Amino acid sequence: MLKIAVMISGGGTDLQSIIDACQAGKINGQIELVVSNRQKAYGLERAQKAGIETAVVKKNDALIVSMFKERQIDLVVLAGYLAILTDELIDAYPNQIINIHPSLIPSFCGAGMYGMHVHEAVLNRGVKVSGATVHFVSREIDGGPIIKQVACDISDLDKAEDIQARVLEIEHQILPEVVGLYCDGRIQIENGRVKVI
Ligand SMILES: Nc1nc2c(c(=O)[nH]1)N[C@@H](CN(C=O)c1ccc(C(=O)N[C@@H](CCC(=O)O)C(=O)O)cc1)CN2
Ligand SMILES: NCC(=O)N[C@@H]1O[C@H](COP(=O)([O-])[O-])[C@@H](O)[C@H]1O
């Protein structure tokens, strides 16, 4: 059973989807620690209600690495973590950090593209499909190997909040699915491309 750490910044519905999947026996792993860079993140309450250790750490990836090593973490999941990881953390966990992004990468991603900013940009550009992406985290923001993407038709929507809600439904499906695949050793990377075996 793999040891999982989840990093958050906000409400934690993506975190909750992993908690629920673990409790349902769908993931061969256990969340050992939830780290937030914001004191008031509701996701911290979600973790505490599930009996999961939590910590608030701001701009200190060295401390985060030490906490992860101390707990022998195997997989790090960014679930709405709205800060850029330093090389120190990324280099300590090569191909062991995954992120959920609320668009179809390489569209609408990178610096400044997070949360509602993404859906507002999608709405303003007038694209007819959006979706969510789970990818490995690399030094290039949102540039790591893509693991899974699912698209949705948004041609009937004209509010960013409604786009967000539809994309979140996808997020809550694909994030726990990918975590489960990772814990089962079914994700391989070859030449920067991901294969699910
Ligand atoms: N080195 C990496 N760090 C992070 C990655 C990554 O791929 N490589 N993925 C991001 C997640 N993310 C989108 O998926 C993302 C998060 C935050 C930002 C951003 O511009 N943040 C602002 C601050 C926002 C705030 O605190 O309110 C900033 O840093 O100026 C862009 C993309 C996680 N990190
Ligand atoms: N670039 C990263 C990013 O924008 N992540 C996004 O933050 C939200 C967190 O929601 P949650 O706090 O309810 O899980 C999610 O929509 C996630 O895709």
Q: How far is the CA of 82 from the centre of ligand 2 (A)?
A: 8
pLDDT given for residue 67 in this prediction: 98
Number of separate domains in the chain: 1
- Contact criterion met (CB below 8 Å) for 67 and 51: no
Q: Is 171 in the pocket of ligand 2 (CB under 6 A)?
A: yes
Hey, whose CA ends up nearest to atom 34 of ligand 1?
84
Q: Is 192 close to ligand 2, i.e. is its CB under 6 Å away?
A: no
Active-site residue set: 101
Contacts of 54 (CB under 8 A, 6+ apart): 33, 34, 35, 36, 44, 47, 48
- Mean pLDDT to the nearest integer, 90-116: 97
> What's 189's domain CATH number?
3.40.50.170
Q: What pTM, to 2 d.p., does this model score?
A: 0.97
User: 37: left (phi > 0), else alpha (psi -120 to 50), else beta?
Assistant: alpha
Burial 30-61 (b: 16+ CB within 10 A, else e): ebbbbbbbbeebbbbebbeebebebeeeeeeb
pLDDT tens per residue across span 2-21? 999 999 999 999 999 999 99
Please name which of 138, 132, 131, 58 lies closest in space to residue 95, comparing C-alpha atoms.
138
At 40-95, the pLDDT tens digits run 999 999 999 999 999 999 999 999 999 999 999 999 999 999 999 999 999 999 99
Reduce the DSSP state of residue 147 to 3 states and report it.
strand
**Cα separation of 8 and 169, whole Å?**
18
- Band (pLDDT 50/70/90 cuts) for residue 141 is very high
Give residue 125's domain range. Answer: 2-196
What does the radius of gyration of the chain's CA atoms come to, in whole angstroms? Answer: 16
Centroid of ligand 2 to alpha carbon of 22 (angstroms): 20
Work out the mean pLDDT of the chain and round it to a whole number: 98
Given a contact cutoff of 8 angstroms between Cβ atoms, the answer to whether 137 and 181 are in contact is no
